[in-house]
Amino acid sequence: MINWGQVLFNSAVTGSLYLLAAVGLTLTYGLSKFPNFAHAEFMAFGAYAGYVVAEELHLGFQLSFLVAFLATAVLGAASYLLVFRPLSRRGASIIHLMVASIGLGFFVRHALQQIWGGAPLTFTVSWSCFDVGPVRITTLWLSLIGAALLMSVVMHLILTKTKVGKAIRASSSNPELALASGIDVEKIALITWMVGAALAGVGGLFRAADTRLVPLLGWEILLPAFAVVILGGIGSFYGALIAAYILGLAENLGVVLLVSLKLSTDYRLAIAFLILILTLIFKPSGFGKLFGEGIKPV
């Protein structure tokens, strides 16, 4: 008997995590025109920053989210200002930018590993766990869904109602046009990188609290994050919003399938990979076009 309520709830949880992880990635990808593989380390960094606050300084879990957000924003800014913008200004090719992002990712990840070691760390915060009918719910998961919802509302308002937000939308989907329209794309880029990284950091913290904290934390969700970005259309926030929950649902349905086939549920990762490949083969521009956003594939 399949607990569909649980499947749906879990999909919302997974989708929310992937959304937080993917928003920054899709916006910076659209704007700077390359996939930032160090985005995985933005997630890990935020988790470690949160860990310091919650578990080493014992300042409470709520504060740890704020710190994760701010600290990772700084990392995002540093990455943009010290690595990616200088490279772009020197005319680096997309391949060079990708290689640099991988290098940056390795640097950050092993710095984290050097400081905290490779062994898994756990958050001692206790979450209450309760059942609503057949569905098991924890307050952590509810917070995650809540955070994703809050972020979506705030992002939507910013993107549609504020000047900065509209500039971000324009720059992520068509940087040249944005520049030609007089938008200070470099300033917008800095903001986008900071906010994108910050959200990833928060996502990473949720993930660490939900499972455990290891340096490879970000890599574990990087592939699904990319699947969301591509499915939703590069540079499209709304596309990512839809794609994240679709992927969350697909993954959890997939887990049900795997269990019934007596296969290891570890293979849920393959679902993201499958969605990624299928999208690239059949509709490389993803959903983005539906909203008039996203970059043309050629």
Question: Which stretch, 87-95, 145-153, 189-197, 200-208, contacts other proteins (CB under 8 A)?
Answer: 87-95
Among 70, 92, 135, 164, indicate the residue that binds other proteins (CB under 8 A).
92
Residue 177 binds other proteins (CB under 8 A): no
Among 2, 60, 63, 106, indicate the residue that binds other proteins (CB under 8 A).
106
* Cα gap 107→109, rounded to integer Å: 6
Q: Identify the helix (H) or strand (E) that includes residue 3.
A: none
* Cα gap 145→35, rounded to integer Å: 26
CB of 222 to other proteins, least distance (A): 9
Among 270, 283, 290, 291, indicate the residue that binds other proteins (CB under 8 A).
270
Show Cβ contacts of residue 139 under 8 Å, excluding neighbours closer than 6 positions.
Answer: 127, 128, 129
Residue 90 binds other proteins (CB under 8 A): yes
Q: Mapped to the 3 state alphabet, what secondary structure does 206-223 carry? A: HHHHHCCECCCHHHHHHH
CB 294 within 8 A of CB 287: yes
Residue 104 binds other proteins (CB under 8 A): yes
Question: Which stretch, 44-52, 79-87, 139-147, 191-199, contacts other proteins (CB under 8 A)?
Answer: 79-87
* Cα gap 291→237, rounded to integer Å: 10
Question: Which stretch, 84-92, 145-153, 159-167, 186-194, contacts other proteins (CB under 8 A)?
Answer: 84-92
* Stretch 109-138 residues interacting with other proteins (CB under 8 A): 109-111, 113-114
Q: Can you tell me whether residue 130 is helix, strand or coil?
A: strand
CA atoms within a 13 Å half-sphere pointing along the CA-CB vector of 70: 6
Q: Which positions lie near other proteins, rule CB under 8 A? A: 33-35, 37, 83, 86-87, 90, 92, 94-96, 98-100, 102-107, 109-111, 113-114, 223, 226, 230, 264, 266-267, 269-270, 273, 276-277, 280-281, 284, 297-298
